Amino acid sequence: MKLPKLQKPGVYVGLFVVDFGDNAGIGFTADEVAELLESEKFRDCKAYKIHRAYPDGRLELKGVNREFFQLEAGMFFYSADIDTARNDYKRLVKLGVETKVPCRMKVQLAKYSDDKFTVALIYPAEYDDEVSGWLLKHDFKTAGAAEGGTAAVSRYYDAKPEILERHQLWTESEVQSRTGEELLAAVKMAVQR
């Protein structure tokens, strides 16, 4: 796969490279990649997330399976009492409202039993690195155990805990995703943005 030299490679971190076989494009959003992979015409293309960019134009890429765009990932913060869990929930919602979140996320306060509660943060799996970075950047910590990943989301849904409170967080992306014909018309462009 041959990629063009970029003028400002740093602005592409977090975006995607799509290899169509006969050409490749740099700068697709996660939503755009998901739409392309769902289409019959582009179902066999390969997607790579841009993790790092260097001043000389080199990019560090990580391959992403097509199934990844259909999964949810999550972070789960456990507590043994409702007061601690509710405080964690309120702090997480406040953080999401007051800062720029990396993607749409749902926050839930859930009860498994009288001595097991969780604050669930669930989001599209392709944003796992960005969500982890956002939590670290804002030094979000809890006192109890924590776990994360796509399997943790499946276990959470399978357990069907009682949802006590819920909040949806939205992002205002700096990069607007294209859809439909506008996206399809751009697939031959080497640099998308």
More confident of the two residues 79 and 55: 79
User: What is Dmax (Cα atoms) for the chain?
Assistant: 58
Strand partners, 163: 110
| pLDDT tens by residue, 125-149 | 988 888 999 999 999 999 899 999 9
Stretch 11-37: mean pLDDT, rounded? 89
Outline which parts of the chain fall under CATH 3.30.70: 71-169
Under CATH, what is the fold of the domain 71-169?
A: Alpha-Beta Plaits (3.30.70)
Q: What is the secondary structure of 30-42 as a DSSP string? A: HHHHHHHHHSSTT
Q: Give CA–CA dist 17/53, Å, rounded.
A: 13
C-alpha distances (whole Å) from 136 to each of 122, 126, 140, 176 are 16, 18, 6, 25
